[in-house]
Amino acid sequence: MQYSETKGFILEDLEQKQALALLSGDEAVAMAAFDSGVALGTGYPGTPSTEILETFEKLGGKAQWSPNEKVAMEVAIGVAFSGARALVTMKHVGLNVAADPLFTVAYIRLDGALIIVSADDPGMASSQNEQDNRRYALAAGVPMLEPSDSQEAYEFTLRAIEISERWQVPVLLRMTTRVCHSKTIVRRGTVTIPKPCAAHFEHDFPSRVMIPAYAKPAHRRLRKTLAEIAVWNDEAGPNELIKGSSSLGIITSGIAFQHVREAAPEASVLKLGMTYPLPLERMCAFAASVERCIVMEEGDPYLVEAARTAGIAVEGKAETYRFGELNSARVRRILDGDISPEAKPVPGKPPALCPGCPHRSVYTVLKDLGCIVAGDIGCYSLGVLPPFQAMDSLVCMGAAIGVGLGLRHSLPPEEARRVVSVLGDSTFVHSGITGLVEMVYNPPESGHVLVILDNGTTAMTGMQEHPGTGRTLDHAKTGKVVFEDLARSMGVRNVYVIDPAQELEKFKELIQTCLDKKELSVVIARRDCLLAARSIREFERCNEQQTN
């Protein structure tokens, strides 16, 4: 790769062969990160964001999975403190985990760039809620860009870096499932930005140490910066005006823009690329230029509320369209004010645990023993569906342990002793370790049983590595967190490792013994995911050869 002052980074064969490509939004973000010299990409796997780091690594970028999104964000912040460019990726609920650093890093004057990708999942294709993370930009005071296709995913990533460095603030790149996973044509090299700085460190206590004495002026500085960015967004932001009919004007952003263009090709459209801080002057002028102005947005009434607060008279959508994704048909209904019931899709075949999946044995046993199962997030969430129906709760990553303990504390003894917490290996590393600390620190009178379903991979999101596998994002050998050692070191005396599929009867006896004990037990049900087993063996063989 070479660098040209006028064109930025150029891959050698870029202009000849790869100028055009059919890419997913995720791949386009990765390509922009690579083309702009992002020094490190961090994140935790989560649909629909996972492919960003995987692609970045394949292109030759340095990418790594962190144990969870909070840690990933913190590592990325450190990179930005060094003057280099950082990218951190996560799904929408991941930003809840990373919200603590997010709100304070917004105050901090960054030396490099910090791009935070939040991949939202309206319609919940693969998530436990459909929260709208545009609210985070507003709440934390972080500028936000919203691409509507892969070309914009590419360009907005570069623009986000530019904005981040110009104003020394983090930038939220807010994507949604249809932008992340749809493939559309990308022309590479359309936006060029300056070369990144060499990493370096200078002490700057008031800018980076958020004790109250420094945080108070830092907050004022942030608000002043946001006001400046708002002016810039009005004048030169990545927003687009499509002149059409003067009778209908539509303000929109993200994927909704594409549906709008299909459903109402005659309408005038103000497409917002930067949706925080908003270009309110432009929105006001646009609304005044048309007879009817309607805001078309997926999810929460974020834009419409902001417009109305600013005194801009706009129509919004009926509450029923807050739920699920938009599409061109729904956009037409919103424009027509149609709130009649929508046709329900014919139910498809639900997903199921694979035949031969080791989780099957675990749920068979837990059901046989009449357990109350505090569950968690992963493939094994499918244990709630027939034929098992053996998982009683799912809240968020790691909640199995806390919820299980709470049930143990409050249920009458005959029910309390049947409570089991179940979570996967990657989920345990993500947010289960602190739960295990709680279990040791505040043990219920009846004891507790934690089952870690260790299938050796982050299966649900497509077989990513994690600290318990002892391999990095690109499957190279690294330090390994050994769950049984960890549990023992925390003071759990009953720690067992067992293959639940190979030794089904023994596994059943073991769970029964643990339930009867009134002590704390950790059972590691270890057997590689059926779909990953062959690759795992291959990675291990390669790593073995390299060591020898």
Summarize as ranges the residues that interact with another protein (CB under 8 A): 22, 47-48, 125-126, 149, 177-178, 181-185, 255, 258-259, 261-262, 265, 327-329, 343, 345-354, 379, 382, 460-462
User: Which residues, including other chains, have CB under 8 Å from residue 442's CB and lie 6 or more apart?
Assistant: 405
Choose between 52 and 76: whose C-beta lies nearer to another protein. Answer: 52
**Least distance from another protein to the Cβ atom of residue 329, Å:** 5
In DSSP terms, 522 is beta-bridged to 450, 495
Dist CA 35 CA 29 (whole Å)? 10
Q: Is the peptide bond before 350 cis (omega within 30 degrees of 0)?
A: no
Closer CB to another protein, 199 or 354, in the complex: 354
At 546, the amino acid letter reads Q
Kindly tell me which of 265 and 491 has the beta carbon lying closer to another protein: 265
Is 115 in a helix, a strand, or coil? strand
CB of 340 to another protein, least distance (A): 15
Closest CA to 422 of 462, 367, 470: 367
For the chain, give the number of residues.
Answer: 548
Burial state string for 203-225 with b = 16 or more CB within 10 A and e = fewer than 16:
eeeebbebeeebbeebeebbeeb
Question: Closest separation between CB of residue 349 and another protein, Å?
Answer: 5
The smaller minimum CB distance to another protein, of residues 203 and 243, is found at: 243
Among 148, 153, 196, which residue's Cα sits nearest to residue 29? 153
What CA–CA distances, in Å, run from 494 to 201, 417, 447, 491, 513? 47, 16, 11, 9, 11
Coil vs helix vs strand at 389: coil
**Residue with structure tokens 């925080």?**
276
Distance CA 263, CA 122 (A): 20
> With contact defined as beta carbons under 8 Å apart, do 105 and 168 qualify?
no
Nearer to another protein, 258 or 268 (CB): 258
In terms of CB distance, is 19 or 22 closer to another protein? 22
- Say if residue 387 is preceded by a cis peptide, omega within 30 of 0: yes
| Bridge partners of residue 251, in order along the sequence | 270, 295
Cβ proximity to another protein: between 295 and 382 the closer is 382
| DSSP symbol at 441 | H
Query: Least CB distance from residue 257 to another protein, whole Å?
Result: 8
Q: Is the Cβ of residue 142 or residue 335 nearer to another protein in the bound state?
A: 335
Question: Considering the complex, what minimum distance in angstroms separates the CB of residue 382 from another protein?
Answer: 6
Q: How far is the CB of 251 from another protein (least distance, A)?
A: 17
CB of 351 to another protein, least distance (A): 3
Using CA atoms, how far apart are residues 215 and 187, in angstroms rounded to an integer?
42
Residue identified by tokens 């050998």 is: 477
Separation between Cα atoms, residue 548 and residue 543, nearest integer Å: 9
The distance of closest approach from Cβ of residue 438 to another protein in the complex, given in angstroms and rounded to an integer, is 30
Nearest approach, Cβ of 168 to another protein (angstroms)? 35
DSSP 167: H
Q: How far is the CB of 353 from another protein (least distance, A)?
A: 7
Q: Closest distance between another protein and the C-beta of residue 484, in Å?
A: 28
If the CB atoms of residues 172 and 379 are measured against another protein, the closer one turns out to be 379
Q: What's the closest the beta carbon of residue 203 comes to another protein, in angstroms?
A: 45
Helix (H, G, I), strand (E, B) or coil at 329: helix
Of 21 and 481, CB closest to another protein: 21
C-alpha span between 205 and 448 (Å, rounded) = 46
- How far, CA to CA in Å, does 55 sit from each of 29, 31, 33, 388, 390? 9, 8, 10, 36, 37
Cα 152 versus chain centre, distance: 19
Nearer to another protein, 66 or 258 (CB): 258
Closer of 203 and 344 to another protein (Cβ): 344
Q: How far apart are CA 540 and CA 102, in angstroms?
A: 37
Question: Who's near 103: CB < 8 A, 6+ residues apart?
Answer: 139, 140
